[in-house]
Structure 1
Amino acid sequence: MKNFKKLSALVLAGAMVFSLAACGGNSASTPTPAPADTSAPADTSAPADTTAPEAVTNPDEIEDSMTSADGTYEVAFITDVGQLKDKSFNQGTFDGVKLYAVANGLSYKYYQPANGNEATDDDRYDAMKAAVDAGAKVVVAAGFMQENALKKAAAEFPDTPFVFIDGYPLSDEAGNTLTNVAAVAFKEEQCGYFAGYAVVKDGFTKLGFSGGGGGTNDACCRYGYGFVQGANAAAADMGVTVDMNYSWEYGSSFSASPELQTMANGWYESGTEVIFACGGSMFQSIAAAASANDGFVVGVDVDQSSQSDTVITSAMKGLSDAVEWAVAKVYDGTFSEIGGVATSLGVNENSVGLPTDTWSLENYPVEEYEALYQEVLDGTLVVDNDFTKLETTEWSNVNLNVI
C-alpha cells in the first residue's frame, strides 16, 4: 500500500503548504525544452530513432559531478555537515537535485562548504555565492545550520530562488520575509511514531534514541519525540513497559565518532536491543556497535537497510521527491507560491513513513502498519509535534532515561 516511492498526487497538486498564511499550488510541470537546432541539415542516411529515452529513476546511476559545456551550473546543492554520500540526509537531498536536473536536461553541481564539519556561516555563504556566480538558477541548501548564511545570500541575491530543506521562513535584518527562500520541512514526528510503534510491536522493549544536532535541530527533535510516543502507544496496547535511553551526546556534528560508538556499545552491552540512529553519518558508529553486540538499528531519512544487516526499519521522509517538487516550481513559474512560507510534509502527502519493500519485522506485519498509517491519514490518530513536552510528559508505558 504505502511503498513510499513518490509524493502523492495531493503534493503534485500543491495541496501541501501550511504556514501562517496557507498557500495553494499548481501541478509541478516539466519545463518546456528549448527548440531543436535546425541550422544543420538532417542526417537522412538512416531511419530516425523514434524510441523515447528511458527515464533515469535511480539516482545512483547519475554521476555526482558533471562538466557543463559553458561552465555554468543551473541547479546547485549546498551540503550540510557530514559526507555528501552519507546514505542519509545529504545524499537523499542531492538525489532530488540530480534526478530533476537529468530529467530536464539541466546542468547541476554540489558545493561542500570549506572546513567540513567545522564549517562556519561564512564558509556556507561562500559556497552559496560560488553557486550563484557559477550561474545557478536555483540553490538547494540542506540543513538548519544553513540559516545565517542563507539570510545573507538570499538578501544579496534576491533574484535567485533558494530551497531550504529542513528549514523555516527567513527574514532579512530589517525583518522583511525573504520571499526567494522556500522553506521545506517534514512531519518527522509521524514517521518517528511509526518506527517506535513498529519495534515495540515486533517484541523489543529495550530501546535507545541517539540524536544529531545536540538537541537544537527541530527535525531530529520531532523524530525522537514521535519515536517515544509510538513506543509508548504500542507498549500500552500490549500491556508491557519499555525502557528507553535518550541522548543527544556526541551527535552535535551528525558525524561518526569513537565516542559515539563507545556510548552505543555501552547501551547494547547493558541490554539495549535497538537504537534509533537519528543523525546522518552517526549511523556508521551506531551500526558498528550494533553489529559487535548482535543489536539492531532503526535508520533515518532514507531506507538504510542496504547499509547494514542490523537495520530492521527506517523512519523515512521524502527528501528527493520534495526537492524535485520545489525545484520544478522555479521552472514552471510558480515558485512564488512556496517562497517565504513554511511547507510541512507528512502522511497526507505520502512524504513520511516506513519502507515496506524491504520489510524485515517478523512479528509486526505490513498490514498492521498500513492500518496505523491510515489512522494518521484520516485523522483518527494525531501525533503531537510539540517536542518540548518530551521530558514533562508522564509516559504510561515508557521508562524514559534522558542522558
Structure 2
Amino acid sequence: MKKIFSIVLCLVMLASLLTLASCGKKEYKIAVVTDVGTLMDKGFNQGTWEGAKAYAEANKISYKYYQPSGGSDADDNSRVEAMQSAIDNGAEIIVAPGFLQATAMRTVAKANPNVKFIFVDGWSLTDSTDDKGNDNGKPLQNVTAIVYKEEESGFLAGYAAVMEGYTKLGFTGGGGGSNPACNRFGYGFVQGAEAAAKEKNVNVTVKYSYKYGENFSASSELQTQISGWYQNGTEVVFACGGSMFQSVKSAAGENANAKIIGVDVDQSNESDRVITSAVKGLSVSVEKVLGQYFDGKWDAELGAKTQNLGAADDATGLPTDTWSLKNFTVDQYKAVFEKIKKGEIAPKSDVPGNANNGDWLKGFEKVTVEFE
C-alpha cells in the first residue's frame, strides 16, 4: 500500500513540476519583427516598435521584439525564423515593418492562419504570386497592411527648405531605388521644392542619389559622398533611409553650416544640424491598428485590407513641437498642411518600381535634379 501511495505521490509531484514548467514560460502576445537595420534606428523600426510598446503597456499586454539574424543583410529565411520564434513564444499578432518582409510574411501567415499580421509599409498579401513576384492568389485574411502618403511629408519638407531660403538641396534614399516609400518621399521632396521655388521665383538644384543606401545602413562611402556634396555647396540633405542618417550626420559634422532633414520620426534630438523631419505617424498608426484588433474588429475592418494614411489622418507632415526654422513659420506651415489635408494640394505619388535613374525626375521648371 505504501509503495502504491509513493508511486501516486511521485506522479502528482511530476505533474506539478510539468505544470510549473509550462507556466514558467512567458508568452508575448504582441511581437514586432524588425526590418533591416537596428531596432533603435531613430527611424522606421523604432517608430513601429514604440507604437507597439505604447499600446501594449497602456493595455497591460505582453510584448517582445525579434530581430532577424544577419542585421542589414537579413534574408527571407532569417525573417521566417524570427516570425516563427515569435509565434512559438505565444504571439497572436505580429507587427512587421518594411516591404522586404513580404515573402517571409506570406510563408508564415499561410502556415499560421490563426495568427494575425500587420504589414507596415506593405500591402494586402495573397497566398501565391506570379513568376514576377506579384500577388495573384487568394487574399490572406490574417494579414492587414498600413501604407502612408510619404509624398506629402516629402513635399512639405522640400517646400519648407526652399521657403526657409535654401536653394541647394540633396536627397539620399534607401533601398537602391526599389523602396516605394523612399521613392515617394524623394518625389514629394522635389515637388515641394518646385512649388516653393515658383512662389519665390528662385532656381533650385537638388542632388539626388540612391548610392550606398541599399541596406539602409550607415557607411563610410555614404559619408564621403554626402560630405562631398556639402563641400561643393549643398546646403541641406534629406537623409531618407534608417541608419543612413548617421552617415549624413557625420558628413554634416565635417562641414560648417551643413544642415539635415530627418525622416519617419522627429530626428531633431539627434543633431542640432536637423532643420526639420519628414515624418509619418508610425507609432500612432500601429497603436490604432492594434486597438482595432484587440477590440475584435479584425474581420470587419482589417483582414485582407490596406489603410493608406496621410495628412487627412494626421499621419504625415513635419513636427511642430521642435520647430527651428526662422523664415518659414509654423503658421505658414499649417496653412500649407491644411491645403494638403483638404486635397487642394495633391503631391503626385506615381513613382517607378526602379527609381535608380534620373529619367523620371525631369520636367520641373524651377528645380534642376542632378542624379548620381
When the two structures are superposed, what TM-score results if normalisation uses the length of structure 1?
0.82
Query: How far 1:145 moved relative to its partner?
Result: 0.8
Q: How far apart in 2 are the matches of 1:213 and 1:102?
A: 33
The reply on whether 1:148 has 2:117 as its aligned counterpart is no
Matched, 1:280 2:245: no
Structure number with bigger Rg: 2
| Letter paired with 1:135 | G
Aligned match for 2:123, one of 156, 162, 168? 168
Unmatched 5+ stretches in structure 1:
1-67
2:350 to 379, 386, 396: 386
> Aligned residue for 2:291?
328
Alignment of 1:197 onto 2:159: yes
8 Å contact 1:169–1:182 — kept in the other structure?
Answer: yes
Cα offsets for 1:69-100 (capped at 9, x unmatched): 64110000001111111111111100011101
CA distance in 2, matches of 1:69, 1:381: 56
Equivalence for 2:277: 314
Which residues of 2 match residues 3-402 of structure 1 at below 5 A? Answer: 70-173=25-128, 175-294=137-256, 295-336=258-299, 337-388=301-352, 391-392=359-360, 393-402=362-371
Report the Cα offset of residue 120 of structure 1: 1.0
Q: Secondary structure at the match of 1:87?
A: coil
Q: Deviations over 1:124-162 (max 9, x none)?
A: 001001101111011000111101000101100011110
- Secondary structure of 1:387's partner? coil
Q: Percent identity?
A: 50
User: Secondary structure at the residue paired with 2:368?
Assistant: strand
Cα distance in 2 between the residues matched to 1:225 and 1:387? 7
Cα displacement (A) at 1:391: 3.3
Cα distance in 2 for residues equivalent to 1:153 and 1:324:
23
Name the CA shift for 1:69/1:325 in 2 (closer, same or farther; >3 Å): farther
Please give the TM-score of this superposition, normalised by the length of structure 2: 0.88
**CA shift in 2, pair 1:238/1:362, >3 Å:** same
- Counterparts of 1:395 and 1:258, CA distance in 2: 32
More helix, by proportion: 2
Question: Per-residue CA shift, 1:103-129, capped at 9, x if unaligned?
Answer: 111111000001111111010001001
Shift of 1:173: 2.2
Give the CA RMSD over aligned residues: 1.3
The answer (yes or no) to whether the contact 1:250–1:259 under 8 Å persists in 2 is yes
CA distance in 2, matches of 1:128, 1:327: 17
